[in-house]
Homo-oligomer: A and B are copies of this chain.
Amino acid sequence: MIPYKILLNEHEMPKQWYNIQADLPNPLKPALNPQTHKPLTPDDLSAIFPMPLIMQEVSTERWIDIPEEILEIQKLWRPSSVHRAYNLEKVLGTPARIYYKNEGVSPAGSHKPNTAVAQAYYNKVSGIKRLATETGAGQWGSALSLACSSFGIECTVYMVKVSYHQKPYRRSLMEAWGANVIPSPSDQTNSGRAVLESNPESMGSLGLAISEAVEDAANREDTNYSLGSVLNHVLLHQTIIGLESKAQMEKVNEYPDVIIASCGGGSNFGGLAFPFLYDKIHGKDIQIIAVEPSACPTLTRGPCTYDYGDTAKLTPLVMMYTLGHDFEPPGIHAGGLRYHGESPLVSQLVKDKLVEARSVGQLGVFEAALTFTRSEGILPAPEAAHAIRTAIDIAQECKESGEEKTILFNLSGHGHFDLSAYDDYLAGKLDDYEYPEDAITRSLENLPKIDL
Protein backbone atom coordinates (compact mmCIF):
# COMPACT_ATOMS: atom_id res chain seq x y z
CA MET A 1 0.00 0.00 0.00
CA ILE A 2 1.15 3.53 -0.78
CA PRO A 3 2.02 5.20 2.57
CA TYR A 4 0.26 8.27 3.90
CA LYS A 5 3.52 10.18 3.63
CA ILE A 6 6.09 9.59 0.91
CA LEU A 7 9.47 10.50 2.38
CA LEU A 8 12.85 11.28 0.87
CA ASN A 9 16.11 11.07 2.75
CA GLU A 10 18.47 14.01 2.85
CA HIS A 11 20.88 12.36 0.42
CA GLU A 12 18.01 12.17 -2.09
CA MET A 13 17.57 15.97 -2.12
CA PRO A 14 17.98 17.51 -5.58
CA LYS A 15 21.51 18.84 -6.12
CA GLN A 16 20.50 21.17 -8.97
CA TRP A 17 17.62 23.53 -9.66
CA TYR A 18 15.73 23.26 -12.94
CA ASN A 19 15.79 26.38 -15.11
CA ILE A 20 12.78 26.33 -17.43
CA GLN A 21 14.27 29.15 -19.51
CA ALA A 22 16.29 26.41 -21.24
CA ASP A 23 13.12 24.79 -22.56
CA LEU A 24 10.63 27.58 -23.25
CA PRO A 25 9.07 27.19 -26.73
CA ASN A 26 9.11 30.99 -26.92
CA PRO A 27 11.80 32.83 -24.98
CA LEU A 28 10.98 35.60 -22.52
CA LYS A 29 10.74 39.18 -23.73
CA PRO A 30 13.46 41.30 -22.10
CA ALA A 31 12.68 43.40 -19.04
CA LEU A 32 12.93 47.13 -19.82
CA ASN A 33 14.52 50.00 -17.96
CA PRO A 34 11.59 52.01 -16.54
CA GLN A 35 13.06 55.35 -17.68
CA THR A 36 14.60 54.56 -21.06
CA HIS A 37 12.35 51.63 -22.06
CA LYS A 38 15.56 49.97 -23.33
CA PRO A 39 16.27 46.31 -22.43
CA LEU A 40 17.65 46.06 -18.92
CA THR A 41 21.33 45.18 -18.52
CA PRO A 42 22.81 43.18 -15.63
CA ASP A 43 24.50 46.41 -14.52
CA ASP A 44 21.11 48.08 -14.08
CA LEU A 45 20.38 45.55 -11.34
CA SER A 46 23.74 45.44 -9.58
CA ALA A 47 22.96 48.25 -7.16
CA ILE A 48 20.43 46.07 -5.37
CA PHE A 49 21.13 42.43 -6.37
CA PRO A 50 24.34 40.35 -6.13
CA MET A 51 25.86 39.18 -9.40
CA PRO A 52 25.17 35.43 -8.92
CA LEU A 53 21.41 36.14 -8.70
CA ILE A 54 21.52 38.50 -11.68
CA MET A 55 23.25 35.77 -13.72
CA GLN A 56 20.60 33.25 -12.67
CA GLU A 57 17.91 35.75 -13.67
CA VAL A 58 19.07 35.70 -17.29
CA SER A 59 20.57 32.20 -17.49
CA THR A 60 19.37 29.68 -20.08
CA GLU A 61 21.35 26.78 -18.61
CA ARG A 62 18.92 23.93 -17.89
CA TRP A 63 20.48 22.81 -14.58
CA ILE A 64 22.04 25.09 -11.97
CA ASP A 65 24.00 23.61 -9.05
CA ILE A 66 22.60 24.19 -5.57
CA PRO A 67 25.47 25.18 -3.26
CA GLU A 68 25.97 22.75 -0.38
CA GLU A 69 25.64 25.63 2.14
CA ILE A 70 22.03 26.19 1.02
CA LEU A 71 21.13 22.51 1.26
CA GLU A 72 22.66 22.33 4.75
CA ILE A 73 20.24 24.99 6.02
CA GLN A 74 17.25 23.57 4.14
CA LYS A 75 17.87 20.13 5.64
CA LEU A 76 16.39 21.56 8.85
CA TRP A 77 13.01 20.88 7.20
CA ARG A 78 13.60 19.49 3.70
CA PRO A 79 12.91 17.20 1.93
CA SER A 80 9.26 17.93 2.67
CA SER A 81 6.83 15.03 2.47
CA VAL A 82 4.30 14.26 -0.25
CA HIS A 83 1.06 13.07 1.35
CA ARG A 84 -1.49 10.70 -0.11
CA ALA A 85 -4.79 12.30 0.94
CA TYR A 86 -6.58 9.03 1.72
CA ASN A 87 -8.97 10.68 4.19
CA LEU A 88 -9.92 13.46 1.80
CA GLU A 89 -10.51 10.92 -0.99
CA LYS A 90 -12.79 8.96 1.35
CA VAL A 91 -14.79 12.04 2.35
CA LEU A 92 -15.23 12.96 -1.32
CA GLY A 93 -15.98 9.39 -2.39
CA THR A 94 -13.80 9.94 -5.44
CA PRO A 95 -11.93 7.33 -7.49
CA ALA A 96 -9.19 9.96 -8.02
CA ARG A 97 -5.92 9.57 -6.15
CA ILE A 98 -5.06 12.88 -4.47
CA TYR A 99 -1.52 13.79 -3.43
CA TYR A 100 -0.16 16.99 -1.95
CA LYS A 101 3.31 18.33 -1.35
CA ASN A 102 3.51 19.79 2.15
CA GLU A 103 5.53 23.00 2.06
CA GLY A 104 3.99 24.19 5.35
CA VAL A 105 6.67 22.28 7.26
CA SER A 106 9.30 25.00 6.98
CA PRO A 107 9.93 27.00 10.17
CA ALA A 108 8.39 30.06 8.49
CA GLY A 109 5.31 28.03 7.53
CA SER A 110 5.46 28.22 3.74
CA HIS A 111 7.55 27.48 0.66
CA LYS A 112 9.13 30.96 0.82
CA PRO A 113 12.37 29.90 2.61
CA ASN A 114 13.34 27.84 -0.46
CA THR A 115 14.39 31.06 -2.17
CA ALA A 116 15.00 33.17 0.96
CA VAL A 117 17.84 30.88 2.06
CA ALA A 118 19.32 30.88 -1.45
CA GLN A 119 19.13 34.66 -1.73
CA ALA A 120 20.66 35.20 1.71
CA TYR A 121 23.49 32.81 0.78
CA TYR A 122 24.38 34.51 -2.52
CA ASN A 123 24.29 37.92 -0.86
CA LYS A 124 26.47 36.68 1.99
CA VAL A 125 29.14 35.28 -0.35
CA SER A 126 28.99 38.54 -2.34
CA GLY A 127 30.03 40.47 0.76
CA ILE A 128 26.63 41.89 1.62
CA LYS A 129 26.03 42.40 5.37
CA ARG A 130 22.37 43.38 5.34
CA LEU A 131 19.20 42.71 3.32
CA ALA A 132 16.16 44.95 3.00
CA THR A 133 12.78 43.74 1.90
CA GLU A 134 9.07 44.46 2.20
CA THR A 135 6.27 42.30 3.51
CA GLY A 136 2.52 42.55 3.41
CA ALA A 137 0.86 39.67 5.21
CA GLY A 138 4.23 38.60 6.62
CA GLN A 139 5.02 35.27 4.92
CA TRP A 140 7.93 36.60 2.92
CA GLY A 141 9.31 38.76 5.72
CA SER A 142 9.29 35.73 8.02
CA ALA A 143 11.11 33.59 5.45
CA LEU A 144 13.85 36.16 4.84
CA SER A 145 14.28 36.76 8.60
CA LEU A 146 14.82 33.03 9.08
CA ALA A 147 17.27 32.92 6.16
CA CYS A 148 19.31 35.92 7.32
CA SER A 149 19.45 34.48 10.82
CA SER A 150 20.90 31.28 9.34
CA PHE A 151 23.76 33.11 7.63
CA GLY A 152 24.34 35.77 10.28
CA ILE A 153 23.38 38.76 8.15
CA GLU A 154 21.11 41.61 9.19
CA CYS A 155 17.54 41.78 7.94
CA THR A 156 15.35 44.86 7.73
CA VAL A 157 11.72 44.34 6.81
CA TYR A 158 9.43 47.20 5.78
CA MET A 159 6.04 45.90 6.84
CA VAL A 160 2.88 47.57 5.52
CA LYS A 161 1.69 49.56 8.55
CA VAL A 162 -1.84 48.19 8.55
CA SER A 163 -0.45 44.61 8.76
CA TYR A 164 2.15 45.67 11.32
CA HIS A 165 -0.69 46.58 13.63
CA GLN A 166 -3.21 43.91 12.57
CA LYS A 167 -0.76 41.01 12.50
CA PRO A 168 1.52 41.62 15.48
CA TYR A 169 2.37 37.90 15.70
CA ARG A 170 3.93 37.84 12.26
CA ARG A 171 6.05 40.79 13.36
CA SER A 172 7.02 38.98 16.59
CA LEU A 173 8.00 35.90 14.58
CA MET A 174 10.38 37.99 12.43
CA GLU A 175 11.81 39.58 15.56
CA ALA A 176 12.31 36.15 17.14
CA TRP A 177 14.69 35.45 14.23
CA GLY A 178 16.40 38.76 14.97
CA ALA A 179 15.01 40.91 12.14
CA ASN A 180 14.40 44.63 12.42
CA VAL A 181 10.77 45.23 11.44
CA ILE A 182 9.78 48.78 10.47
CA PRO A 183 6.20 49.88 9.85
CA SER A 184 5.87 51.43 6.40
CA PRO A 185 5.51 54.35 5.66
CA SER A 186 8.54 55.09 7.85
CA ASP A 187 10.79 58.08 8.42
CA GLN A 188 13.81 56.00 7.29
CA THR A 189 13.48 56.72 3.54
CA ASN A 190 12.61 59.61 1.24
CA SER A 191 9.61 57.71 -0.15
CA GLY A 192 8.34 57.02 3.36
CA ARG A 193 8.88 60.57 4.60
CA ALA A 194 7.13 62.03 1.53
CA VAL A 195 4.02 59.97 2.22
CA LEU A 196 4.06 60.76 5.95
CA GLU A 197 4.37 64.47 5.20
CA SER A 198 1.28 64.52 3.03
CA ASN A 199 -0.61 62.03 5.21
CA PRO A 200 0.76 61.31 8.69
CA GLU A 201 -2.03 58.75 9.22
CA SER A 202 -1.18 56.66 6.13
CA MET A 203 -1.45 52.91 6.78
CA GLY A 204 0.86 52.13 3.84
CA SER A 205 0.67 49.79 0.87
CA LEU A 206 2.78 46.97 -0.55
CA GLY A 207 3.85 49.23 -3.42
CA LEU A 208 5.19 51.84 -0.99
CA ALA A 209 6.91 49.24 1.19
CA ILE A 210 8.71 47.97 -1.95
CA SER A 211 9.83 51.51 -2.72
CA GLU A 212 11.16 51.95 0.82
CA ALA A 213 13.08 48.66 0.76
CA VAL A 214 14.55 49.31 -2.71
CA GLU A 215 15.59 52.84 -1.70
CA ASP A 216 17.18 51.53 1.52
CA ALA A 217 19.16 48.94 -0.47
CA ALA A 218 20.17 51.34 -3.23
CA ASN A 219 21.52 53.88 -0.74
CA ARG A 220 23.72 51.60 1.35
CA GLU A 221 26.85 49.90 0.08
CA ASP A 222 26.50 47.00 2.56
CA THR A 223 22.81 46.36 1.76
CA ASN A 224 20.94 44.60 -1.03
CA TYR A 225 17.27 44.12 -1.80
CA SER A 226 15.46 40.79 -1.83
CA LEU A 227 12.17 39.85 -3.53
CA GLY A 228 10.02 36.83 -2.66
CA SER A 229 8.29 36.06 -5.97
CA VAL A 230 7.83 37.07 -9.65
CA LEU A 231 11.51 37.07 -10.72
CA ASN A 232 13.10 34.20 -12.66
CA HIS A 233 15.74 33.42 -10.02
CA VAL A 234 13.06 33.19 -7.33
CA LEU A 235 11.07 30.63 -9.30
CA LEU A 236 14.30 28.78 -10.11
CA HIS A 237 15.03 28.27 -6.38
CA GLN A 238 11.49 27.03 -5.84
CA THR A 239 11.86 24.21 -8.38
CA ILE A 240 13.20 22.07 -5.55
CA ILE A 241 9.51 21.53 -4.72
CA GLY A 242 8.67 19.94 -8.05
CA LEU A 243 11.96 18.04 -8.33
CA GLU A 244 11.42 16.41 -4.94
CA SER A 245 7.77 15.73 -5.80
CA LYS A 246 8.73 13.95 -9.02
CA ALA A 247 11.14 11.71 -7.12
CA GLN A 248 8.47 11.00 -4.51
CA MET A 249 5.77 10.14 -7.03
CA GLU A 250 8.24 7.88 -8.81
CA LYS A 251 8.89 6.02 -5.54
CA VAL A 252 5.26 4.88 -5.52
CA ASN A 253 5.10 4.34 -9.29
CA GLU A 254 2.78 7.27 -9.87
CA TYR A 255 2.84 10.18 -12.31
CA PRO A 256 0.28 12.97 -11.93
CA ASP A 257 -2.40 13.54 -14.59
CA VAL A 258 -3.16 16.93 -13.06
CA ILE A 259 -0.83 19.41 -11.31
CA ILE A 260 -2.40 22.24 -9.33
CA ALA A 261 -0.97 25.22 -7.46
CA SER A 262 -2.24 28.61 -6.41
CA CYS A 263 -0.75 31.57 -8.22
CA GLY A 264 -0.06 35.09 -6.95
CA GLY A 265 3.40 36.19 -8.05
CA GLY A 266 3.99 32.64 -9.30
CA SER A 267 6.62 31.21 -6.97
CA ASN A 268 4.75 28.29 -5.43
CA PHE A 269 3.12 27.49 -8.76
CA GLY A 270 6.38 27.60 -10.69
CA GLY A 271 8.15 25.68 -7.95
CA LEU A 272 5.85 22.70 -8.23
CA ALA A 273 4.94 22.90 -11.91
CA PHE A 274 8.16 23.70 -13.83
CA PRO A 275 9.84 20.29 -13.43
CA PHE A 276 6.63 18.65 -14.71
CA LEU A 277 6.34 21.26 -17.47
CA TYR A 278 9.68 19.99 -18.76
CA ASP A 279 7.89 16.69 -19.47
CA LYS A 280 4.86 18.45 -20.93
CA ILE A 281 7.00 20.56 -23.25
CA HIS A 282 8.63 17.29 -24.37
CA GLY A 283 5.31 15.68 -25.20
CA LYS A 284 3.83 14.30 -21.98
CA ASP A 285 0.07 14.70 -21.60
CA ILE A 286 -0.51 16.49 -18.28
CA GLN A 287 -3.01 19.14 -17.21
CA ILE A 288 -1.26 21.94 -15.29
CA ILE A 289 -3.47 24.47 -13.54
CA ALA A 290 -2.61 27.83 -11.95
CA VAL A 291 -5.38 28.95 -9.57
CA GLU A 292 -5.97 32.57 -8.69
CA PRO A 293 -8.68 34.37 -6.71
CA SER A 294 -11.65 35.75 -8.65
CA ALA A 295 -11.00 38.97 -6.74
CA CYS A 296 -7.58 39.38 -8.38
CA PRO A 297 -7.96 37.62 -11.74
CA THR A 298 -4.64 38.50 -13.35
CA LEU A 299 -4.23 35.44 -15.57
CA THR A 300 -7.90 34.94 -16.36
CA ARG A 301 -8.98 38.50 -17.08
CA GLY A 302 -5.86 40.62 -17.68
CA PRO A 303 -3.91 41.08 -20.94
CA CYS A 304 -0.29 39.93 -21.34
CA THR A 305 1.69 43.13 -21.85
CA TYR A 306 4.53 45.30 -20.51
CA ASP A 307 3.77 46.80 -17.10
CA TYR A 308 5.48 47.98 -13.94
CA GLY A 309 5.86 45.69 -10.95
CA ASP A 310 4.89 48.40 -8.47
CA THR A 311 2.43 51.25 -8.19
CA ALA A 312 5.21 53.87 -8.00
CA LYS A 313 6.63 52.77 -11.41
CA LEU A 314 10.16 52.38 -9.98
CA THR A 315 10.65 48.75 -11.06
CA PRO A 316 11.62 47.53 -14.50
CA LEU A 317 8.85 46.96 -17.06
CA VAL A 318 8.20 43.29 -17.59
CA MET A 319 6.07 41.36 -20.05
CA MET A 320 3.36 39.71 -17.99
CA TYR A 321 -0.33 39.21 -17.45
CA THR A 322 -1.46 42.23 -15.48
CA LEU A 323 -4.53 44.02 -14.24
CA GLY A 324 -2.59 47.32 -14.37
CA HIS A 325 -0.02 48.55 -11.86
CA ASP A 326 -2.58 50.72 -10.09
CA PHE A 327 -5.19 47.95 -9.82
CA GLU A 328 -6.43 47.70 -6.25
CA PRO A 329 -7.75 44.24 -5.35
CA PRO A 330 -10.19 44.08 -2.43
CA GLY A 331 -8.90 43.00 0.97
CA ILE A 332 -9.39 39.26 0.43
CA HIS A 333 -7.85 36.99 3.00
CA ALA A 334 -5.34 35.29 0.72
CA GLY A 335 -2.98 38.27 0.97
CA GLY A 336 -0.27 36.41 -0.93
CA LEU A 337 -2.46 36.31 -4.05
CA ARG A 338 -3.33 40.03 -4.18
CA TYR A 339 -0.76 41.04 -6.78
CA HIS A 340 -1.74 42.94 -9.92
CA GLY A 341 0.87 41.22 -12.07
CA GLU A 342 2.39 37.78 -12.55
CA SER A 343 5.76 36.16 -13.02
CA PRO A 344 6.97 36.64 -16.63
CA LEU A 345 7.82 32.93 -16.83
CA VAL A 346 4.34 31.81 -15.78
CA SER A 347 2.83 34.46 -18.07
CA GLN A 348 4.73 33.11 -21.06
CA LEU A 349 3.63 29.54 -20.28
CA VAL A 350 -0.01 30.58 -19.98
CA LYS A 351 0.25 32.52 -23.22
CA ASP A 352 1.70 29.44 -24.90
CA LYS A 353 -1.20 27.35 -23.52
CA LEU A 354 1.09 25.02 -21.58
CA VAL A 355 -0.53 26.19 -18.36
CA GLU A 356 -4.25 26.58 -17.78
CA ALA A 357 -5.44 29.41 -15.54
CA ARG A 358 -8.58 29.22 -13.38
CA SER A 359 -10.07 31.63 -10.87
CA VAL A 360 -12.06 30.66 -7.78
CA GLY A 361 -14.13 32.66 -5.30
CA GLN A 362 -13.22 33.12 -1.67
CA LEU A 363 -16.26 31.32 -0.21
CA GLY A 364 -15.56 28.12 -2.11
CA VAL A 365 -11.92 28.37 -1.12
CA PHE A 366 -12.69 28.46 2.61
CA GLU A 367 -15.27 25.69 2.26
CA ALA A 368 -12.60 23.52 0.64
CA ALA A 369 -10.09 24.55 3.31
CA LEU A 370 -12.36 23.26 6.08
CA THR A 371 -13.13 20.02 4.22
CA PHE A 372 -9.38 19.52 4.06
CA THR A 373 -8.78 20.49 7.72
CA ARG A 374 -11.43 18.05 8.91
CA SER A 375 -10.19 15.16 6.78
CA GLU A 376 -6.42 15.60 6.50
CA GLY A 377 -6.02 17.41 9.84
CA ILE A 378 -3.86 20.27 8.57
CA LEU A 379 -5.23 23.82 8.56
CA PRO A 380 -4.10 25.31 5.23
CA ALA A 381 -3.15 28.90 4.47
CA PRO A 382 -5.91 30.59 2.45
CA GLU A 383 -3.47 30.88 -0.47
CA ALA A 384 -2.89 27.11 -0.48
CA ALA A 385 -6.64 26.52 -0.18
CA HIS A 386 -7.09 27.86 -3.72
CA ALA A 387 -5.25 24.78 -4.93
CA ILE A 388 -7.30 22.57 -2.60
CA ARG A 389 -10.55 24.01 -4.03
CA THR A 390 -9.50 23.10 -7.55
CA ALA A 391 -8.19 19.67 -6.53
CA ILE A 392 -11.56 18.91 -4.93
CA ASP A 393 -13.41 20.17 -8.02
CA ILE A 394 -11.44 17.82 -10.24
CA ALA A 395 -11.82 14.91 -7.80
CA GLN A 396 -15.57 15.48 -7.89
CA GLU A 397 -15.56 15.50 -11.69
CA CYS A 398 -13.76 12.14 -11.47
CA LYS A 399 -16.50 10.86 -9.19
CA GLU A 400 -19.06 11.66 -11.88
CA SER A 401 -17.02 10.36 -14.80
CA GLY A 402 -15.48 7.42 -12.95
CA GLU A 403 -11.99 8.49 -14.05
CA GLU A 404 -9.14 7.48 -11.71
CA LYS A 405 -7.01 10.56 -12.24
CA THR A 406 -3.87 11.15 -10.20
CA ILE A 407 -3.93 14.68 -8.82
CA LEU A 408 -0.97 16.46 -7.21
CA PHE A 409 -1.29 19.87 -5.61
CA ASN A 410 0.98 22.16 -3.63
CA LEU A 411 0.02 22.78 -0.01
CA SER A 412 2.16 25.90 0.00
CA GLY A 413 1.68 26.82 3.65
CA HIS A 414 -0.20 26.33 6.89
CA GLY A 415 -2.81 28.71 8.23
CA HIS A 416 -1.64 29.21 11.83
CA PHE A 417 -1.37 32.95 11.26
CA ASP A 418 -4.59 33.20 9.26
CA LEU A 419 -7.13 32.24 11.88
CA SER A 420 -8.88 35.60 11.84
CA ALA A 421 -9.79 34.79 8.22
CA TYR A 422 -11.27 31.44 9.28
CA ASP A 423 -13.09 33.26 12.07
CA ASP A 424 -14.64 35.63 9.54
CA TYR A 425 -15.63 32.74 7.29
CA LEU A 426 -17.21 30.73 10.11
CA ALA A 427 -19.07 33.86 11.27
CA GLY A 428 -20.51 34.31 7.75
CA LYS A 429 -18.71 37.61 7.28
CA LEU A 430 -16.98 36.80 3.97
CA ASP A 431 -18.20 37.43 0.44
CA ASP A 432 -17.11 36.27 -2.95
CA TYR A 433 -15.85 39.08 -5.07
CA GLU A 434 -15.99 39.28 -8.83
CA TYR A 435 -14.63 42.44 -10.42
CA PRO A 436 -17.12 44.25 -12.66
CA GLU A 437 -15.72 44.43 -16.18
CA ASP A 438 -15.47 48.23 -16.23
CA ALA A 439 -13.33 48.31 -13.07
CA ILE A 440 -10.69 46.20 -14.78
CA THR A 441 -11.01 48.14 -18.03
CA ARG A 442 -10.43 51.35 -16.09
CA SER A 443 -7.24 50.18 -14.39
CA LEU A 444 -5.92 48.89 -17.74
CA GLU A 445 -6.19 52.39 -19.22
CA ASN A 446 -3.05 53.37 -17.28
CA LEU A 447 -0.84 50.69 -18.79
CA PRO A 448 2.42 52.16 -20.12
CA LYS A 449 2.63 52.65 -23.88
CA ILE A 450 5.63 50.74 -25.18
CA ASP A 451 6.73 50.46 -28.82
CA LEU A 452 7.29 46.73 -29.26
Interface string of A416-427 (1 = CB under 8 A from B): 110110110010
Give Cα A148 to B228, complex, Å.
38
How many whole Å from A248's CB to the nearest CB in chain B?
A: 13
Chain A, 397-449, CB within 8 A of any chain B CB: 416-417, 419-420, 422-423, 426
7 residue pairs A–B, Cβ–Cβ below 8 Å: A3-B10, A150-B377, A172-B422, A173-B379, A176-B426, A416-B416, A416-B417
Give Cα A177 to B373, complex, Å.
7
Interface string of A1-35 (1 = CB under 8 A from B): 00111010111000000000000000000000000
Q: Which residues of B contact A146 (CB under 8 A)?
A: 377
For the residues of A in contact with B, the DSSP-based class is helix
How many whole Å from A77's CB to the nearest CB in chain B?
A: 7
Interface string of A56-87 (1 = CB under 8 A from B): 00000000000000000101110000010001
A356 at the interface (CB under 8 A from B): no
Give Cα A379 to B146, complex, Å.
10
CB pair B419–A77 under 8 Å, yes or no, is no
A311 at the interface (CB under 8 A from B): no
Our pick among B377, B379, B422 for the contact of A77 (Cβ within 8 Å) is B377
Q: Which residues of B contact A378 (CB under 8 A)?
A: 76, 107
- Taken together, the copies of this chain in the complex come to 2
CB pair A423–B373 under 8 Å, yes or no, is no
The verdict on A75 contacting B3 (CB below 8 Å), with A107-B378, A169-B420, A423-B172 known, is yes
A315 at the interface (CB under 8 A from B): no
A286 at the interface (CB under 8 A from B): no
CB pair A422–B377 under 8 Å, yes or no, is no
Give Cα A420 to B175, complex, Å.
12
CB pair B379–A176 under 8 Å, yes or no, is yes
CB pair B169–A4 under 8 Å, yes or no, is no
How many whole Å from A418's CB to the nearest CB in chain B?
A: 9
CB pair B76–A172 under 8 Å, yes or no, is no
A376 at the interface (CB under 8 A from B): yes
A361 at the interface (CB under 8 A from B): no
The verdict on A422 contacting B4 (CB below 8 Å), with A107-B377, A376-B76, A417-B416 known, is no
How many whole Å from A163's CB to the nearest CB in chain B?
A: 14
CB pair B419–A173 under 8 Å, yes or no, is yes
Q: Which residues of B contact A189 (CB under 8 A)?
A: none
Interface string of A141-178 (1 = CB under 8 A from B): 00000100110000000000000000011001101111
Q: Which residues of B contact A177 (CB under 8 A)?
A: 373-374
Interface string of A354-370 (1 = CB under 8 A from B): 00000000000000001
Residue from the set A83, A376, A377, A417 with the largest chain B CB neighbour count within 10 Å: A377
Q: Which residues of B contact A87 (CB under 8 A)?
A: 76, 150
A92 at the interface (CB under 8 A from B): no
CB pair B105–A370 under 8 Å, yes or no, is no
Q: Which residues of B contact A9 (CB under 8 A)?
A: 3, 7
Give Cα A413 to B335, complex, Å.
27
Q: Which residues of B contact A105 (CB under 8 A)?
A: 105
Residue from the set A75, A106, A420 with the largest chain B CB neighbour count within 10 Å: A75
How many whole Å from A181's CB to the nearest CB in chain B?
A: 11
CB pair A420–B172 under 8 Å, yes or no, is yes
